[in-house]
Amino acid sequence: GKHYNQRYVDNTTNLDDLTRQQLSQMQSVDIVIGIPSHRNSRTIGEVLRAVSRGIAEQFPDMRVLLLNADGGSSDNTTHLVMDSPMPGNVSKIITTYIGIMGKGTAVRAILEACAITHARVCLVLDARIPGIQPEWIGRLIRPVLEGNDLAIGAYERSPYAAAFNDNVVYPFIKAFLNADLRNPLPLEFCLAGDYAAELVTQDVWETDVAKFGVNMYVALEALIMQRRILQIELGYRGDPSGEPG
C-alpha cells in the first residue's frame, strides 16, 4: 500500500489541532477503535460496554485508543463516552470532527488518527448496534491482526432490515464485480493500518462519501484494489431504529 502522506493529510485534516497534537504525542498504538456519533446517547452506552468487555477479555495486552469522532451532539453522547469505564490499556480521545457534516467525515477523522499513531488495525463501530456482543470486537479485529486488509461483519437480519441489501446492493455487486460480498454496506468493519492510511489520502472526502455511503466506499475500494477481505459471521443483529427506508 501507499505510505502515509503527511503533507496531504496536513492540508485536508478532519481533526482539530489539539487532537492531532494528542495523537502525535501518544506512545505506539496497536488498535484504534473509532465510533462516529451524532446525538446517539440512547444507544452508544451498549456499544461502549461491549468494547470495554471485549478489550478486557480478548486484548488485555494490546495498546488501544478509543476515539469518538462526534458531529457536535447537543445531547450527552460525548459525556457518556468520557465517563464510560474502560480497561487500563485503553486511552480515550473525544473530538468534534471538522469539515463537511456527515458520517464519512467522522470515519475519515478516525482513519486519520490511525495513520498518525501508526496503529496496526482500525476498527470502526456504529454508535447504534442493537444486540452487539463483546466477542464481536475480537472476531473483527483478530483476522486483520493476522494479515487481512478488511474484516466486514455479516449478520442474520430480519427480512425488513435486510431488504435493501439483499434485493438491490448485493445483486448489483455480484453482477458488476462478480464478488460474493453478502454485506457490502458494512456498519462495522476493521481495516489494516496501512489500508486505513491509504484511504485517508484518497480524493473522495469532499464528495457525498463525506455525508453518506462511506460504508459502501470502504468495501468497494477494497474489492477494486483486490485487498484481502474476510466476511465475519456475527450472528443476529437487531433491527436499527430511525434509519431512513
Q: What is the pLDDT of residue 158?
A: 83
Answer for the pair 36, 110: CB distance below 8 angstroms, yes or no: yes
Give the per-residue pLDDT at 245: 41
Contacts of 39-42 spanning 24+ positions with Cβ under 8 A:
39/73, 39/74, 39/75, 39/77, 40/73, 40/77, 40/127, 40/128, 41/73, 41/75, 41/76, 41/77, 41/80
Q: What is the pLDDT of residue 241?
A: 57
In 118-158, alpha helices (H): 135-145
User: The whole model's pTM is what?
Assistant: 0.91
Sign of CA dihedral 55, 189, 81, 13: positive
pLDDT tens per residue across span 102-128:
999 999 999 999 999 999 999 999 999
Predicted pLDDT at 4? 46
Sites in the chain below the pLDDT cut of 50: 1-5, 7-8, 244-245
Nearest C-alpha neighbor of 115 from the set 225, 10, 188: 10
